[in-house]
Amino acid sequence: MIDLPNPDAADFGSGLAKIADIRRSNPAIPEPATPEAGGPERRKFRTIWISDIHLGTRGCNADMLIDFLDRTDSEIMYLVGDIVDGWRLKKKFYWPPAHNDVVWRILKRAKRGTHIIYIPGNHDEMFRQFTGLNFGGIEIRRAAFHNTADGRRLMVLHGDEFDAVMQSHRWLAFVGDWTYRAAMQLNVLVNAVRNALGKPYWSLAKAAKHKVKKSVEFIGKYEEVVAKAAGERGVDGVVCGHIHTAEFREFEFAGKSVEYWNDGDWVEGCNALVEHEDGRMEILNWADEMSQREAALDKQSSPEPEAAPDPAKEAA
């Protein structure tokens, strides 16, 4: 059995009284560079899970995340690790205003009353030493149990706990690496040209294909290992991040079904996992949501010119 971090024995929320709450002594938060865009149209969920934001790196899609945070709200929010990339920041300091704005919005949410649980990952493991503390309304945990509105019990953890079993370091370097994907696309292009010129395939394309297959195999295996470990802990499912691949799968171990949920990332996928008021869960793809919204706006504004305002209505 894999050695997993032990969430508090009691259920979600019961340890709050013991936690040092410095919320009231918190100074006012300075204003963000990009003002909040949201408003009454915020989509309300019971729970939101996001992870693998990698603040402090160029790969982080902070602008899309800001858009997401401005248009959604929830009672509970889990930050499922790799929120800040401490490894990368140590090598090279990179912190544009948009990254500050993400932090600002998360703090603001806590202030407005969202219960925020932060489960540090391997890239922000320096925050694991603060497990059990509460910073500005953000509770730091090593793992958590979440009870859905319809009574399922889910274990929430980042997911790097399985790296040792998976021997995943080699493949993780590829998963979610945009340079790798760009290289593969280039490969396709190069080979199309070579093909047109009647030249043989470039050997690197073969290698790339092999790696894609391997990474697909790796992801599948990872999902199974995580779900199995959750099943052994007696929960109905697991929510994790870490491998930058949003997914829902249902496994069956010894006749008992176990749900696997991965909330994806904000480097490539730009995903969030949400729980609706009735306990139904859904993976959101925010890049798609944004382009759909833009397409709807275009449709609204382009077909016919707006009718002249009715003076009678205007006066009313």
Q: Which of 123, 111, 35 is nearest to 81 (CA)?
A: 123
Which residue lies nearer to Mn ion by CB, 108 or 142? 142
Q: Does 88 bind Mn ion (CB under 5 A)?
A: no
Q: Whole-number minimum distance, CB 82 to Mn ion, in Å?
A: 4
Q: Does 131 bind Mn ion (CB under 5 A)?
A: no
Which residue lies nearer to Mn ion by CB, 7 or 81? 81
Interatomic CA distance for residues 155 and 157, integer angstroms: 7
Cα angle 141-143-145, degrees, rounded to a multiple of 5? 110
Stretch that binds Mn ion, among 30-38, 72-80, 88-96, 159-167 (CB under 5 A): 159-167
Q: Does 122 bind Mn ion (CB under 5 A)?
A: yes
The pair of structure tokens assigned to 205 is 């394309």
Q: Whole-number minimum distance, CB 121 to Mn ion, in Å?
A: 4
Q: Whole-number minimum distance, CB 97 to Mn ion, in Å?
A: 25
> Which residue has 């949410």 as its token pair?
109
Contact 60, 267 (CB under 8 A): yes
Q: Whole-number minimum distance, CB 87 to Mn ion, in Å?
A: 10
196: left (phi over 0), alpha (psi -120 to 50) or beta: alpha
Q: Does 121 bind Mn ion (CB under 5 A)?
A: yes
Interatomic CA distance for residues 228 and 253, integer angstroms: 7
Beta bridge partners of 79: 50, 118
Which residue lies nearer to Mn ion by CB, 82 or 289? 82
Q: Whole-number minimum distance, CB 262 to Mn ion, in Å?
A: 11
Applying CB under 5 A, which of residues 242, 244, 284, 289 lies at the interface with Mn ion?
A: 242
Q: Does 82 bind Mn ion (CB under 5 A)?
A: yes
Which residue lies nearer to Mn ion by CB, 83 or 106? 83
Strand order in the sheet with 247-253: 144-147, 153-156, 237-240, 256-262, 247-253
Q: Does 268 bind Mn ion (CB under 5 A)?
A: no
Stretch that binds Mn ion, among 21-29, 91-99, 121-129, 246-254 (CB under 5 A): 121-129
Which residue lies nearer to Mn ion by CB, 81 or 137? 81
Which residue lies nearer to Mn ion by CB, 87 or 248? 87
Stretch that binds Mn ion, among 2-10, 110-118, 122-130, 229-237 (CB under 5 A): 122-130
Q: Does 223 bind Mn ion (CB under 5 A)?
A: no
Q: Whole-number minimum distance, CB 244 to Mn ion, in Å?
A: 8
Which residue lies nearer to Mn ion by CB, 208 or 227? 227
Which residue lies nearer to Mn ion by CB, 121 or 269? 121
Binding residues for Mn ion, rule: CB under 5 A, are 82, 121-122, 160, 242
